[in-house]
Structure 1
Amino acid sequence: MDRVRELASKKAAVIFTKSSCCMCHSIKALFYELGASPAIYELDKDVNGREIEWALRGLGSNPSVPAVFIGGEYVGSAKDVITLHVDGSLRQKLIDARAIWF
């Protein structure tokens, strides 16, 4: 869990993904479209990927990826991020965390 918190706090926006996950790809694309440049950690390419995946599940991320952190705080999975985007609050969260500027 400490490793997840450490990685999640290194950048304003962080996404834990797997390279073969289509929802992960969609969430990354959404962040790029909004002007954010998140840190991406692909768990299937990380030697500690399994351990990180279990820690993410412990935070309530089910499925474990994509798991999104903004401003060091766990935001949720794809469903949660899409909900925030639809209600208009995702952009503001990214601005508040200084992941994007307007």
Structure 2
Amino acid sequence: METVKDLASESAVVIFSKSSCCMCHTIKRLFSDLGVKTVVHEIDEEMDGREIERALSRLLGRNSNSSVPAVFIGGRLIGSTDKIMALHLGGSLLPLLRDAGAIWL
């Protein structure tokens, strides 16, 4: 769990992803289109990926098959695709990114 918290505080926006996950690709693309520089951890390509995935599952309250994408903004867990898209469509994502210093719009 400490590893996840340390990695999540590396940058204003940190995404835990799997390289073959289509929903992960969607979230990474959204942030890229918004001009947000993200740090992405592809947990299927990291040595301690299984440990990270278990920690994310506990944080998200989900089974290990749906632990990604997991998005942290300002070091705080925001959630997965459904939460990020709801924030974006509701107009709350950009202010959240601004407050975290991820964008300057």
Structure 1 gaps of 5+ residues are none
The question of whether the paired residues in 2 share the 8 Å contact of 1:17 and 1:40 is answered with: yes
- Corresponding residue number in structure 2 for 1:78: 81
Structure 2 gaps of 5+ residues are none
- Corresponding residue number in structure 1 for 2:101: 98
- Corresponding residue number in structure 2 for 1:35: 35
Distance 2:79 2:30 in 1: 15
Q: Which runs of 4+ in 1 moved over 6 A?
A: none
State percent identity of aligned pairs: 54
Distance 2:101 2:87 in 1: 17
Distance 1:94 1:59 in 2: 21
For residue 61 of structure 1, report the CA deviation from its aligned partner: 5.4
Distance 1:89 1:34 in 2: 13
Cα RMSD, aligned residues only:
0.8
Distance 1:53 1:42 in 2: 10
Can you list the C-alpha shifts for 1:41-96, whole angstroms capped at 9, x where unaligned? 00010000000000000101531000000000000000110000010101111110
Q: How many residues align?
A: 102
- Corresponding residue number in structure 1 for 2:68: 65
- The code of the aligned residue for 1:84 comes to L
Return the TM-score normalized by structure 2: 0.95
